[in-house]
Amino acid sequence: EVQLLESGGGLVQPGGSLRLSCAASGFAFSSYAITWVRQAPGKGLEWVSDVSGSGDITKYADSVKGRFTTSRDNSKSTVFLQMNSLRAEDTAVYYCAKRTAAAVVRDYFDYWGQGTLVTVSS
């Protein structure tokens, strides 16, 4: 059974940093790209970032480019989202999702984790 479990969310002050983790199981982890999607309270879904199966290619939304970094440790079946210079508008539930291919190509999200809440507030 495919499972994705996010962790690391919490309350952080504006300008602070947080590192989210997405631990995966039930599939050949390094064979699939992973995506981060966020959802602000009461709002819709926003794509944030992709990382390829090998970890050598990453993509970012303009809203987080230069502040967020996605990486992965295939030996631990885990993806990370390092979030720096956090702003109030980054407050959201962050989901990781599995893609259907290793490359970050035209591809949808077939399994999602349950999400972790990040709150940026003083």
Partner 1 sequence: DVQMTQSPSTLSASVGDRVTITCRASQSVNTWLAWYQQRPGKAPKLLIYKASSLESGVPSRFSGSGSGTEFTLTISNLQPDDFATYYCQQYNSYSYTFGQGTKLEIK
- How many degrees, rounded to 5, is the angle at CA 84 between CA 107 and CA 116? 60
Residue 23 sits in the site that holds partner 1 (CB under 8 A): no
Q: How far is the CB of 19 from partner 1 (least distance, A)?
A: 21
Residue with tokens 């290619």: 57
Residues 77-116 that bind partner 1 (CB under 8 A): 95, 106-115
The stretch among 12-20, 25-33, 58-66, 77-85 that binds partner 1 (CB under 8 A) is 58-66
Residue 8 sits in the site that holds partner 1 (CB under 8 A): no
Residue with tokens 């295939």: 74
Q: How many residues bind partner 1 (CB under 8 A)?
A: 20
Residue 36 sits in the site that holds partner 1 (CB under 8 A): no
- Please classify residue 82 by burial: count the beta carbons closer than 10 Å to its beta carbon, then call 0-12 exposed, 13-18 middle and 19+ buried: middle
Q: How far is the CB of 77 from partner 1 (least distance, A)?
A: 19
Give DSSP secondary structure letters for 29-89.
Answer: GGGS-EEEEEE-TTS-EEEEEEE-SSSS-EEE-TTTTTTEEEEEETTTTEEEEEE-S--GG
Could you list the residues that contact partner 1 (CB under 8 A)?
35, 37, 44-47, 59, 61-62, 95, 106-115
